[in-house]
Amino acid sequence: MTSRSPTDGTAGQPASLEQLVRWRRDVRRFKPDPVADDLIERLLRLADLAPSVGNSQPWRILNVKDGAARLAVARQFERERSRTVSGYEGDQATLYNKLKLAGFDAAPVHLAIFCDHDSAQGHGLGQQTMPETLDHSCACMVTVLWLAAREAGLGLGWVSIVEPAAIAETLGVSKSWKLIGYILLGWPEEEHLDPELERYGWQPRTPFEGRYRELGKVEDTSAPSKDAPRSQSGGSVTLVGAGPGDPELLTLKALRALQTADVVLYDNLVARPILDYVRLGAKLIDVGKRGYRKSCKQPDIDRQLVSFAREGLKVVRLKSGDPLIFGRAGEEIAACRAAGVPLSVVPGVTSAQGAAANLKVALTNRDHARRLQFITAHDRHGTLPADIDWSAVADPAATTVVYMPKRTLAELTDIATAHGLDPKTPAIAVANATRADEQAIISTVGMVAAELGSAHPEGPVLVMIGEALRHATPLDVVEQTAALFSTVGAAPVES
């Protein structure tokens, strides 16, 4: 996840307190890159300014650089983790074993935070009635450190699955020092606005209203029951179509949504220049689904949309093309509705429209194509869908636009011709439609798969098929194709 904020040097304005609080998440996945000692000292000196009961400053910070001591703490954590799992059963125990609950393996900085209960600082002010406020003061210090680290781009993990006395003994500290937490600091390998425990299904956040009460307030009996789904005031989700790539194809409504968003979850296919239109300070989260590679799962995306909206954030789900065409928008709409999250949809220029317009190719023709149909060339398993209506694809009076056909185009054209589609029917493959690196291949149904394979373009591809293309006289396509094939050493196929 990236952020258009000072945490990664992309903006000149300081992060707001609200942004720092929202970005503060327990980090368990760190890069092994070192953190400069002077940066750690600056953050610790800032944290040392934290408030404390009676100005007691009871925290004691031990920077654990010794490798043997770090290993001993990590082993103690694993023992406690193994013991803790016995308290869970069934699916919860299985999930607990899968959770990553610490980052000992990569975090470059280890800090043990203790509370000194024998300190004379503060003369005991405020501690006679509530001695636990010494521990609370140390927690305040850690929170300040957490926010300071976040502002510097660092991640912090607060490890609590350890036995305090055992850690104190391992590190050889005074018997009056009580462990508050073992802190891991480093550059985060990945960043998220939602807690990892929520992201992996351990426990979702609940609405603020469930933790707030007013003494003496008369209850409103007309209010919805506590079991009724609702979102926190102000939170919402907007599905936005980014168009095929040219930022100038964004609608005014899409631009307004991007410039008022608190967080934007964007697909891998969204052109990067479009992200420049997102409001400075908004959080950018890459949730792209990358074909045949590790990528974000749809249920995880659904949970993040709902979670952010419940926190009162304006959430934009940014999708390439139009969100309602092969974008799995239906699942996200259903998730928001089930959670009671306000939802709106901003349509976008779909890739077929952008490709045809840029190449000046008409997709319909009153004499040759009275129907336009969009199909996808792969199913949820990455294979050619089994339920394609091949008679419709073979219909000479239709123009067919095939989305996501890179791996299955040869199979698709073979089956289509077997069902009666003339192999000499015009076909145009377009990669990166409307973008600066757009590539077009003008061909026929019988040859387009082989020619696309030879060109091997990067980025999203679609294929347009139909007699309407023959009568469009796509001069621009011919010129672009000639330029493309001059670089790959092949000649364009005349249609």
SS3 259: helix
Mean pLDDT of all residues in 357-364: 89
Note the maximum CA span of the chain.
94
pLDDT of residue 471: 67
Q: Tell me the sheet residues that pair with 429.
A: 441, 463
pLDDT band of residue 295 (cuts 50, 70, 90) is low
Q: What is the pLDDT of residue 376?
A: 94
pLDDT(98) > 60: yes
Handedness of CA 483, 486, 489, 491 (dihedral sign): positive
Q: What is the mean pLDDT of residues 293-298?
A: 69
Mean pLDDT of 479-489: 49
Cβ partners under 8 Å of residue 213, min gap 6: none
Q: Which residues contact 419 (CB under 8 A, 6 or more apart)?
A: 390, 391, 393, 394
Alpha helices in 160-297 (DSSP H): 164-171, 196-199, 252-259, 272-275
Asked whether the beta carbons of 449 and 423 are under 8 A apart, the reply is no
- Whether the pLDDT of residue 299 is over 60: the answer is yes
128-149 pLDDT tens trace:
888 899 999 999 999 999 999 9
Query: Is residue 223 predicted with pLDDT exceeding 70?
Result: no
Neighbours of 83 (CB within 10 A): 11
CB neighbourhood size of 245 (10 A) = 28
* 146-185: pLDDT as tens digits: 999 999 999 999 999 999 999 999 999 999 999 999 999 9
Provide, rounded to the nearest whole percent, the portion of the chain with pLDDT above 70. Answer: 85
Cα atoms in the 13 Å half-sphere on the side-chain side of 147: 18
Please say if the pLDDT value at position 78 is more than 80.
Answer: yes
Instruction: Pick the catalytic residue from 289, 300, 414, 476.
Output: 289
**Mean of the per-residue pLDDT values of the chain:** 85
Dihedral sign from CA coordinates of 261, 264, 306, 238: positive
Residue-wise pLDDT tens digits, 413-466: 999 999 999 999 999 999 999 999 999 999 999 999 999 999 999 889 999 999
- Bridge partners for 464 per DSSP: 401, 428
| More confident call, 431 vs 10 | 431
Domains of the chain in sequence order = 26-190 (3.40.109.10), 236-349 (3.40.1010.10), 352-488 (3.30.950.10)
Q: Which of 26, 262, 302, 404 is catalytic?
A: 404
pLDDT digits (tens, 9 = 90+) for 36-48: 999 999 999 999 9
Residue 289 annotated as catalytic: yes
pLDDT of residue 220 exceeding 70:
no
* 379-391 residue pLDDT tens: 888 899 999 999 9
Q: How confident is the model at residue 229 (pLDDT cuts 50, 70, 90)?
A: very low
141 in active site: no
Q: Which of 194, 246, 262, 267 is catalytic?
A: 267
Residue 43 is predicted with a pLDDT of 96
The three-class DSSP label of residue 201 is: coil
312 vs 315: CA distance, rounded Å: 9
**β-sheet bridge partners, residue 373:** 400
Q: What is the pLDDT of residues 442-454, one digit of tens each?
A: 999 999 999 999 9
pLDDT at 9 over 50: no
Alpha carbon 444 to its chain centroid, in Å, reads 39
pLDDT tens figures, 237-256: 999 999 999 999 999 999 99
Please say if 404 is a catalytic residue: yes
Model pLDDT, residue 218:
60
